[in-house]
A and B are shown apart, each in its own frame.
Chain A
Amino acid sequence: MRSPLVAPFAFGLIAVAAQLPAQTATAPTFAPPVKLMAGAKGLGENRLFPSPVLHDMNGDGLADLVVGDLRGRLTVALRQRGTGVPTFAAETKVLANDGAELDFANW
Protein backbone atom coordinates (compact mmCIF):
# COMPACT_ATOMS: atom_id res chain seq x y z
CA MET A 1 0.00 0.00 0.00
CA ARG A 2 1.23 3.45 -0.84
CA SER A 3 1.35 5.81 2.10
CA PRO A 4 -1.44 8.39 2.19
CA LEU A 5 1.24 10.87 3.24
CA VAL A 6 2.69 10.96 -0.25
CA ALA A 7 0.16 13.44 -1.63
CA PRO A 8 0.54 16.20 0.99
CA PHE A 9 4.33 16.04 0.62
CA ALA A 10 4.32 16.29 -3.13
CA PHE A 11 7.02 18.99 -3.00
CA GLY A 12 9.58 16.27 -2.58
CA LEU A 13 9.90 17.26 1.03
CA ILE A 14 9.48 13.79 2.46
CA ALA A 15 13.19 13.58 3.19
CA VAL A 16 13.30 17.07 4.65
CA ALA A 17 10.32 16.38 6.90
CA ALA A 18 11.85 13.18 8.13
CA GLN A 19 14.93 15.05 9.39
CA LEU A 20 12.97 17.66 11.28
CA PRO A 21 12.57 17.20 15.00
CA ALA A 22 9.13 16.20 16.18
CA GLN A 23 6.99 19.17 17.15
CA THR A 24 5.12 19.38 20.40
CA ALA A 25 1.67 17.83 20.69
CA THR A 26 0.08 21.27 21.07
CA ALA A 27 -2.08 22.49 18.21
CA PRO A 28 -0.28 24.43 15.47
CA THR A 29 -0.92 28.16 15.03
CA PHE A 30 -1.63 29.94 11.75
CA ALA A 31 -1.33 33.45 10.31
CA PRO A 32 -4.57 35.23 9.31
CA PRO A 33 -5.86 33.72 6.06
CA VAL A 34 -5.14 35.10 2.59
CA LYS A 35 -7.45 34.63 -0.40
CA LEU A 36 -5.80 32.56 -3.13
CA MET A 37 -5.76 33.55 -6.79
CA ALA A 38 -5.82 31.33 -9.88
CA GLY A 39 -4.70 33.45 -12.81
CA ALA A 40 -6.64 36.73 -12.63
CA LYS A 41 -9.57 35.20 -10.72
CA GLY A 42 -10.12 34.09 -7.15
CA LEU A 43 -9.31 30.40 -6.77
CA GLY A 44 -12.56 28.47 -6.32
CA GLU A 45 -14.47 31.77 -6.26
CA ASN A 46 -18.22 31.33 -6.62
CA ARG A 47 -17.98 27.53 -6.82
CA LEU A 48 -20.57 25.60 -4.81
CA PHE A 49 -18.76 24.54 -1.63
CA PRO A 50 -15.20 24.47 -3.04
CA SER A 51 -13.15 21.60 -1.60
CA PRO A 52 -9.39 21.85 -2.28
CA VAL A 53 -6.91 18.97 -2.30
CA LEU A 54 -3.18 19.06 -3.09
CA HIS A 55 -1.81 16.87 -5.87
CA ASP A 56 0.96 17.25 -8.44
CA MET A 57 -1.15 16.97 -11.59
CA ASN A 58 1.52 17.84 -14.17
CA GLY A 59 4.53 16.11 -12.62
CA ASP A 60 6.63 19.28 -12.19
CA GLY A 61 7.30 18.51 -8.52
CA LEU A 62 4.92 21.19 -7.24
CA ALA A 63 1.65 20.35 -5.53
CA ASP A 64 -1.23 21.81 -7.53
CA LEU A 65 -4.68 22.53 -6.12
CA VAL A 66 -7.50 20.33 -7.32
CA VAL A 67 -10.86 21.78 -6.29
CA GLY A 68 -14.02 19.68 -6.05
CA ASP A 69 -17.50 21.10 -5.55
CA LEU A 70 -20.97 20.15 -4.44
CA ARG A 71 -21.91 18.98 -7.92
CA GLY A 72 -19.04 16.50 -7.97
CA ARG A 73 -16.92 18.24 -10.61
CA LEU A 74 -13.21 19.03 -10.33
CA THR A 75 -10.89 21.75 -11.56
CA VAL A 76 -7.13 22.04 -11.28
CA ALA A 77 -5.13 25.20 -10.64
CA LEU A 78 -1.46 24.53 -11.44
CA ARG A 79 1.00 25.83 -8.85
CA GLN A 80 3.46 28.45 -10.06
CA ARG A 81 7.02 28.69 -8.79
CA GLY A 82 7.74 31.44 -6.32
CA THR A 83 8.02 32.28 -2.67
CA GLY A 84 5.48 33.64 -0.21
CA VAL A 85 1.76 33.08 -0.62
CA PRO A 86 1.41 30.37 -3.28
CA THR A 87 0.15 31.46 -6.69
CA PHE A 88 -1.65 29.34 -9.26
CA ALA A 89 -2.51 29.41 -12.96
CA ALA A 90 -6.15 29.75 -14.03
CA GLU A 91 -8.35 26.77 -13.19
CA THR A 92 -9.14 24.20 -15.87
CA LYS A 93 -11.60 21.31 -15.74
CA VAL A 94 -10.38 17.84 -14.78
CA LEU A 95 -11.39 15.37 -17.48
CA ALA A 96 -11.79 11.60 -17.30
CA ASN A 97 -10.29 9.08 -19.72
CA ASP A 98 -13.39 9.24 -21.90
CA GLY A 99 -12.70 12.93 -22.61
CA ALA A 100 -15.77 14.09 -20.66
CA GLU A 101 -15.57 16.02 -17.42
CA LEU A 102 -14.79 13.75 -14.48
CA ASP A 103 -18.21 13.53 -12.84
CA PHE A 104 -18.67 12.15 -9.36
CA ALA A 105 -22.25 10.97 -9.70
CA ASN A 106 -24.41 13.23 -7.70
CA TRP A 107 -28.04 13.74 -6.84
Chain B
Amino acid sequence: MSPQFVDFDADGDLDLVAGTFDGSPHLARREGNGWRQPEQILDAEGVRITLGEFWDHDAKKWSKTTRGDVPGEPPATGHATSAIAFDDDGDGDLDLLLGDHKSGHVYRRENRGTAAAPKFALGNQRVLGGDAPIDVPGTVATLRLVDFDRDGRVDLLLSSMGDAYSDKAGGGVFWCRNVGEGKQARFGPLQTLVPISTKGAEAANRPDSGLYAEAGDADGDGDLDLFVGGYSHWQPEGKVLNEAEQQRVQAIQKETADLQQELQRLNTEAQKASAGVADEAEAGKRYTEAYKAQKKERDQNRERMQKLTEELGTLVPAAQRRSFVWFYENTTPRTR
Protein backbone atom coordinates (compact mmCIF):
# COMPACT_ATOMS: atom_id res chain seq x y z
CA MET B 1 0.00 0.00 0.00
CA SER B 2 1.03 3.63 -0.33
CA PRO B 3 -0.44 5.88 2.38
CA GLN B 4 -0.68 9.63 1.67
CA PHE B 5 -1.85 12.35 4.07
CA VAL B 6 -3.86 14.81 1.99
CA ASP B 7 -7.03 16.89 2.30
CA PHE B 8 -8.95 14.78 -0.20
CA ASP B 9 -12.41 16.24 0.46
CA ALA B 10 -11.33 19.88 0.88
CA ASP B 11 -12.73 20.24 4.41
CA GLY B 12 -9.49 21.56 5.90
CA ASP B 13 -8.08 18.42 7.53
CA LEU B 14 -5.78 15.64 6.36
CA ASP B 15 -7.40 12.45 5.16
CA LEU B 16 -5.55 9.27 4.25
CA VAL B 17 -5.46 8.11 0.63
CA ALA B 18 -3.86 4.79 -0.23
CA GLY B 19 -3.61 2.41 -3.14
CA THR B 20 -3.72 -1.15 -1.83
CA PHE B 21 -3.07 -4.64 -3.13
CA ASP B 22 -6.77 -5.06 -4.05
CA GLY B 23 -6.00 -2.81 -7.04
CA SER B 24 -7.97 0.31 -6.05
CA PRO B 25 -7.35 3.61 -4.28
CA HIS B 26 -8.98 3.95 -0.86
CA LEU B 27 -9.86 6.93 1.33
CA ALA B 28 -9.99 7.16 5.13
CA ARG B 29 -11.70 10.45 5.92
CA ARG B 30 -10.47 12.52 8.84
CA GLU B 31 -13.26 13.02 11.36
CA GLY B 32 -12.72 14.67 14.74
CA ASN B 33 -9.46 13.42 16.20
CA GLY B 34 -9.12 10.36 14.02
CA TRP B 35 -9.98 8.65 10.76
CA ARG B 36 -13.04 6.72 9.66
CA GLN B 37 -12.50 3.20 8.32
CA PRO B 38 -11.51 3.41 4.65
CA GLU B 39 -13.83 3.38 1.65
CA GLN B 40 -13.01 2.82 -2.01
CA ILE B 41 -12.63 5.90 -4.19
CA LEU B 42 -15.20 5.71 -6.99
CA ASP B 43 -15.30 7.12 -10.52
CA ALA B 44 -17.92 9.56 -11.85
CA GLU B 45 -20.35 6.65 -12.36
CA GLY B 46 -19.88 5.25 -8.86
CA VAL B 47 -17.64 2.35 -9.90
CA ARG B 48 -14.40 1.58 -8.08
CA ILE B 49 -11.24 2.81 -9.81
CA THR B 50 -8.88 0.13 -11.13
CA LEU B 51 -6.48 -0.66 -13.92
CA GLY B 52 -7.01 -4.02 -15.66
CA GLU B 53 -6.75 -6.33 -12.62
CA PHE B 54 -8.38 -6.18 -9.22
CA TRP B 55 -9.52 -8.33 -6.32
CA ASP B 56 -13.28 -8.79 -6.48
CA HIS B 57 -14.33 -8.63 -2.81
CA ASP B 58 -17.81 -10.08 -3.53
CA ALA B 59 -16.74 -13.02 -5.71
CA LYS B 60 -13.55 -13.42 -3.61
CA LYS B 61 -11.31 -13.84 -6.65
CA TRP B 62 -9.00 -11.87 -8.91
CA SER B 63 -10.86 -10.32 -11.86
CA LYS B 64 -10.05 -8.40 -15.00
CA THR B 65 -11.71 -5.43 -16.66
CA THR B 66 -11.27 -3.29 -19.77
CA ARG B 67 -13.54 -0.58 -18.36
CA GLY B 68 -10.72 1.91 -17.90
CA ASP B 69 -9.18 1.45 -21.35
CA VAL B 70 -8.93 4.61 -23.40
CA PRO B 71 -9.46 4.54 -27.20
CA GLY B 72 -6.19 5.08 -29.06
CA GLU B 73 -4.05 4.06 -26.08
CA PRO B 74 -2.67 0.59 -25.23
CA PRO B 75 -4.95 -1.14 -22.69
CA ALA B 76 -4.07 -0.51 -19.04
CA THR B 77 -3.90 -4.20 -18.15
CA GLY B 78 -1.98 -3.74 -14.91
CA HIS B 79 -2.63 -3.77 -11.19
CA ALA B 80 -2.78 -0.42 -9.35
CA THR B 81 -1.33 -0.95 -5.88
CA SER B 82 -0.31 2.67 -5.35
CA ALA B 83 -2.25 5.92 -5.72
CA ILE B 84 -1.75 9.57 -4.89
CA ALA B 85 -4.11 12.52 -5.02
CA PHE B 86 -2.54 15.44 -6.86
CA ASP B 87 -3.83 18.56 -8.61
CA ASP B 88 -2.26 17.50 -11.86
CA ASP B 89 -3.95 20.13 -14.03
CA GLY B 90 -3.87 23.01 -11.56
CA ASP B 91 -7.65 23.51 -11.59
CA GLY B 92 -7.94 23.52 -7.80
CA ASP B 93 -9.21 19.97 -7.30
CA LEU B 94 -7.33 16.73 -6.71
CA ASP B 95 -6.85 14.28 -9.55
CA LEU B 96 -5.53 10.76 -9.00
CA LEU B 97 -2.31 9.16 -10.17
CA LEU B 98 -2.16 5.36 -10.13
CA GLY B 99 1.05 3.30 -10.10
CA ASP B 100 1.09 -0.06 -11.87
CA HIS B 101 2.58 -2.93 -9.89
CA LYS B 102 2.78 -5.03 -13.09
CA SER B 103 4.50 -2.50 -15.34
CA GLY B 104 6.47 0.70 -14.93
CA HIS B 105 3.58 2.91 -16.02
CA VAL B 106 1.71 5.61 -14.14
CA TYR B 107 -1.90 6.47 -15.00
CA ARG B 108 -4.02 9.57 -14.45
CA ARG B 109 -7.68 9.81 -13.49
CA GLU B 110 -8.73 13.40 -13.95
CA ASN B 111 -11.16 14.94 -11.46
CA ARG B 112 -13.85 16.60 -13.57
CA GLY B 113 -15.90 17.56 -10.54
CA THR B 114 -14.84 19.87 -7.74
CA ALA B 115 -12.46 19.68 -4.80
CA ALA B 116 -15.31 18.89 -2.38
CA ALA B 117 -17.30 16.70 -4.80
CA PRO B 118 -14.85 14.84 -7.05
CA LYS B 119 -15.97 13.15 -10.27
CA PHE B 120 -13.16 11.00 -11.58
CA ALA B 121 -12.80 10.20 -15.29
CA LEU B 122 -13.58 6.63 -16.31
CA GLY B 123 -10.42 6.11 -18.35
CA ASN B 124 -6.80 5.43 -17.35
CA GLN B 125 -4.58 7.90 -19.19
CA ARG B 126 -0.82 7.23 -19.26
CA VAL B 127 1.36 9.87 -17.65
CA LEU B 128 4.38 10.97 -19.68
CA GLY B 129 7.94 11.41 -18.42
CA GLY B 130 9.60 13.46 -21.12
CA ASP B 131 8.15 12.47 -24.50
CA ALA B 132 7.30 8.85 -23.64
CA PRO B 133 5.06 7.26 -21.01
CA ILE B 134 6.80 6.94 -17.63
CA ASP B 135 8.29 3.43 -17.45
CA VAL B 136 9.88 2.72 -14.07
CA PRO B 137 12.43 -0.13 -14.18
CA GLY B 138 11.24 -2.93 -11.89
CA THR B 139 7.52 -1.88 -11.94
CA VAL B 140 5.93 0.79 -9.74
CA ALA B 141 5.82 0.19 -5.98
CA THR B 142 4.87 3.69 -4.87
CA LEU B 143 4.45 7.31 -5.90
CA ARG B 144 5.17 10.44 -3.84
CA LEU B 145 4.94 14.18 -4.39
CA VAL B 146 7.98 16.29 -3.58
CA ASP B 147 9.52 19.54 -4.76
CA PHE B 148 13.08 18.26 -4.92
CA ASP B 149 14.56 21.18 -6.84
CA ARG B 150 12.58 23.83 -4.90
CA ASP B 151 11.30 25.57 -7.99
CA GLY B 152 7.83 25.75 -6.45
CA ARG B 153 6.49 22.91 -8.61
CA VAL B 154 5.70 19.49 -7.25
CA ASP B 155 7.84 16.71 -8.75
CA LEU B 156 7.14 13.00 -8.81
CA LEU B 157 9.12 10.53 -6.69
CA LEU B 158 8.77 6.91 -7.77
CA SER B 159 10.17 3.69 -6.38
CA SER B 160 10.11 0.21 -7.79
CA MET B 161 9.49 -3.40 -6.79
CA GLY B 162 12.09 -5.40 -8.69
CA ASP B 163 12.26 -9.10 -7.95
CA ALA B 164 11.29 -9.46 -4.29
CA TYR B 165 11.65 -13.21 -4.04
CA SER B 166 14.83 -14.44 -5.76
CA ASP B 167 18.18 -13.16 -6.99
CA LYS B 168 17.03 -11.27 -10.10
CA ALA B 169 17.47 -7.47 -10.29
CA GLY B 170 15.81 -5.51 -7.50
CA GLY B 171 14.24 -2.04 -7.32
CA GLY B 172 15.37 1.57 -7.14
CA VAL B 173 14.17 5.13 -6.45
CA PHE B 174 13.56 7.64 -9.23
CA TRP B 175 12.50 11.20 -9.78
CA CYS B 176 10.59 12.96 -12.56
CA ARG B 177 11.08 16.72 -12.41
CA ASN B 178 7.96 18.79 -13.02
CA VAL B 179 8.98 20.93 -16.00
CA GLY B 180 5.51 22.34 -16.71
CA GLU B 181 5.31 26.06 -17.23
CA GLY B 182 1.59 26.59 -16.89
CA LYS B 183 -0.86 25.09 -14.44
CA GLN B 184 -0.67 21.61 -15.97
CA ALA B 185 2.07 19.40 -14.50
CA ARG B 186 4.48 18.09 -17.12
CA PHE B 187 7.07 15.59 -16.01
CA GLY B 188 10.58 15.30 -17.38
CA PRO B 189 12.36 12.01 -18.05
CA LEU B 190 13.03 9.57 -15.21
CA GLN B 191 16.21 10.29 -13.22
CA THR B 192 17.79 7.83 -10.82
CA LEU B 193 18.11 8.68 -7.11
CA VAL B 194 18.87 5.16 -5.83
CA PRO B 195 20.06 2.75 -8.53
CA ILE B 196 18.40 -0.59 -9.18
CA SER B 197 19.89 -3.20 -6.86
CA THR B 198 21.91 -6.00 -8.40
CA LYS B 199 21.86 -7.79 -5.00
CA GLY B 200 24.67 -10.19 -4.09
CA ALA B 201 25.86 -8.42 -0.90
CA GLU B 202 27.16 -10.40 2.10
CA ALA B 203 25.19 -8.28 4.57
CA ALA B 204 21.99 -6.22 4.60
CA ASN B 205 23.31 -2.90 3.33
CA ARG B 206 20.37 -1.39 1.42
CA PRO B 207 16.76 -2.06 0.44
CA ASP B 208 17.12 -4.37 -2.56
CA SER B 209 13.55 -5.07 -3.59
CA GLY B 210 10.02 -3.80 -2.93
CA LEU B 211 11.23 -0.22 -2.47
CA TYR B 212 8.67 2.18 -0.95
CA ALA B 213 10.21 5.64 -0.82
CA GLU B 214 9.21 8.81 1.04
CA ALA B 215 11.05 12.16 1.19
CA GLY B 216 11.30 14.76 3.94
CA ASP B 217 13.79 16.95 5.76
CA ALA B 218 14.71 14.65 8.63
CA ASP B 219 17.78 16.46 9.92
CA GLY B 220 16.62 20.06 9.54
CA ASP B 221 19.34 21.04 7.09
CA GLY B 222 16.82 22.27 4.53
CA ASP B 223 17.10 19.53 1.95
CA LEU B 224 15.03 16.41 1.39
CA ASP B 225 16.26 13.08 2.71
CA LEU B 226 14.82 9.71 1.74
CA PHE B 227 13.08 7.09 3.88
CA VAL B 228 12.85 3.81 2.01
CA GLY B 229 11.08 0.63 3.09
CA GLY B 230 12.02 -2.59 1.36
CA TYR B 231 13.53 -6.04 1.47
CA SER B 232 17.23 -6.62 1.85
CA HIS B 233 18.56 -9.79 0.22
CA TRP B 234 21.97 -10.99 1.29
CA GLN B 235 24.18 -14.02 1.29
CA PRO B 236 26.30 -14.24 4.46
CA GLU B 237 29.93 -15.10 3.87
CA GLY B 238 30.61 -18.82 4.26
CA LYS B 239 33.73 -20.67 5.37
CA VAL B 240 36.31 -22.06 2.94
CA LEU B 241 35.31 -25.66 2.23
CA ASN B 242 37.77 -28.55 1.92
CA GLU B 243 37.33 -31.09 -0.87
CA ALA B 244 35.25 -33.51 1.18
CA GLU B 245 32.94 -30.67 2.24
CA GLN B 246 32.57 -29.47 -1.33
CA GLN B 247 31.60 -32.96 -2.40
CA ARG B 248 29.11 -33.16 0.43
CA VAL B 249 27.51 -29.86 -0.70
CA GLN B 250 27.11 -31.25 -4.19
CA ALA B 251 25.59 -34.46 -2.86
CA ILE B 252 23.12 -32.48 -0.71
CA GLN B 253 22.13 -30.33 -3.68
CA LYS B 254 21.59 -33.43 -5.82
CA GLU B 255 19.46 -35.15 -3.16
CA THR B 256 17.46 -31.93 -2.60
CA ALA B 257 16.71 -31.70 -6.33
CA ASP B 258 15.61 -35.35 -6.32
CA LEU B 259 13.30 -34.71 -3.35
CA GLN B 260 11.79 -31.69 -5.09
CA GLN B 261 11.17 -33.80 -8.17
CA GLU B 262 9.52 -36.44 -6.03
CA LEU B 263 7.26 -33.79 -4.49
CA GLN B 264 6.33 -32.61 -7.95
CA ARG B 265 5.44 -36.18 -8.90
CA LEU B 266 3.17 -36.46 -5.84
CA ASN B 267 1.46 -33.17 -6.75
CA THR B 268 0.82 -34.33 -10.30
CA GLU B 269 -0.54 -37.63 -9.03
CA ALA B 270 -2.95 -35.88 -6.63
CA GLN B 271 -4.14 -33.59 -9.42
CA LYS B 272 -4.75 -36.58 -11.69
CA ALA B 273 -7.24 -37.95 -9.17
CA SER B 274 -9.55 -35.03 -9.84
CA ALA B 275 -8.82 -34.55 -13.55
CA GLY B 276 -11.88 -34.56 -15.77
CA VAL B 277 -14.33 -34.35 -12.84
CA ALA B 278 -16.74 -31.57 -13.79
CA ASP B 279 -18.35 -31.15 -10.37
CA GLU B 280 -16.12 -28.74 -8.42
CA ALA B 281 -16.97 -30.14 -4.98
CA GLU B 282 -16.41 -33.74 -6.12
CA ALA B 283 -13.12 -32.78 -7.78
CA GLY B 284 -11.97 -31.07 -4.59
CA LYS B 285 -12.93 -34.12 -2.53
CA ARG B 286 -11.00 -36.50 -4.77
CA TYR B 287 -7.96 -34.26 -4.75
CA THR B 288 -8.01 -34.04 -0.94
CA GLU B 289 -8.36 -37.83 -0.61
CA ALA B 290 -5.47 -38.46 -2.97
CA TYR B 291 -3.39 -35.86 -1.12
CA LYS B 292 -4.12 -37.45 2.26
CA ALA B 293 -3.20 -40.89 0.89
CA GLN B 294 0.29 -39.54 0.20
CA LYS B 295 0.79 -38.42 3.79
CA LYS B 296 3.55 -40.91 4.66
CA GLU B 297 5.58 -40.13 1.54
CA ARG B 298 5.12 -36.37 2.00
CA ASP B 299 6.15 -36.50 5.67
CA GLN B 300 9.28 -38.48 4.83
CA ASN B 301 10.11 -36.05 2.04
CA ARG B 302 9.65 -33.02 4.32
CA GLU B 303 11.72 -34.48 7.17
CA ARG B 304 14.60 -35.43 4.87
CA MET B 305 14.49 -32.02 3.16
CA GLN B 306 14.63 -30.28 6.54
CA LYS B 307 17.68 -32.32 7.62
CA LEU B 308 19.46 -31.57 4.35
CA THR B 309 18.70 -27.87 4.62
CA GLU B 310 20.07 -27.77 8.17
CA GLU B 311 23.24 -29.63 7.14
CA LEU B 312 23.72 -27.38 4.10
CA GLY B 313 23.36 -24.34 6.39
CA THR B 314 26.40 -25.50 8.41
CA LEU B 315 28.49 -25.64 5.21
CA VAL B 316 27.01 -22.81 3.10
CA PRO B 317 25.00 -20.17 5.01
CA ALA B 318 21.48 -19.73 3.63
CA ALA B 319 20.51 -16.62 1.67
CA GLN B 320 18.68 -14.05 3.81
CA ARG B 321 15.72 -11.78 2.98
CA ARG B 322 14.18 -9.36 5.45
CA SER B 323 12.30 -6.07 5.35
CA PHE B 324 13.51 -2.85 6.99
CA VAL B 325 13.08 0.91 6.65
CA TRP B 326 16.23 2.81 5.63
CA PHE B 327 17.35 6.43 5.88
CA TYR B 328 19.27 8.10 3.02
CA GLU B 329 20.72 11.45 4.02
CA ASN B 330 20.72 14.02 1.21
CA THR B 331 24.32 15.06 0.58
CA THR B 332 23.80 17.23 -2.51
CA PRO B 333 26.16 20.22 -2.34
CA ARG B 334 24.34 23.53 -1.99
CA THR B 335 24.48 25.98 -4.88
CA ARG B 336 24.50 29.52 -3.56
The reply on B287 being an interface residue by CB < 8 A is no
Q: Scan A74-107; emit 1 where CB is below 8 A from any B CB, else 0.
A: 1000000001111000000001111010111111
Further pairs besides A36-B326, A49-B231, A105-B40: 7, Cβ < 8 Å = A2-B14, A4-B86, A13-B222, A51-B2, A51-B142, A66-B5, A96-B37
The reply on B100 being an interface residue by CB < 8 A is no
The reply on B227 being an interface residue by CB < 8 A is yes
A-B contact pairs, 22 of them (CB 8 A): A4-B145, A7-B4, A21-B335, A23-B148, A23-B150, A28-B224, A29-B331, A43-B324, A47-B229, A49-B210, A50-B230, A50-B325, A52-B212, A52-B227, A84-B219, A97-B36, A102-B16, A102-B28, A102-B35, A104-B20, A104-B28, A105-B26
Identity of the chain A residue whose Cβ is nearest the Cβ of B228 in the assembled complex: A33
Q: Scan A25-69; emit 1 where CB is below 8 A from any B CB, else 0.
A: 101111111111000001111111111111100000001011111
Interface size on B, residues (CB 8 A): 89
Q: Is the CB of A105 within 8 A of B35?
A: no
Q: Is the CB of B35 within 8 A of A97?
A: yes
B177 neighbours in A (Cβ, 8 Å): 25
B332 neighbours in A (Cβ, 8 Å): 23, 28-29
Identity of the chain A residue whose Cβ is nearest the Cβ of B93 in the assembled complex: A1
B142 neighbours in A (Cβ, 8 Å): 51
The reply on B275 being an interface residue by CB < 8 A is no
B326 neighbours in A (Cβ, 8 Å): 33-36
Say yes or no: A8-B230 contact (C-beta < 8 A), given A2-B12, A45-B322: no
Q: Is the CB of B224 within 8 A of A7?
A: no
A20 neighbours in B (Cβ, 8 Å): 150, 222
Interface centre among A20, A44, A45 (most CB of B within 10 A): A44
The reply on B235 being an interface residue by CB < 8 A is no
Identity of the chain B residue whose Cβ is nearest the Cβ of A3 in the assembled complex: B154
Q: Is the CB of B36 within 8 A of A50?
A: no
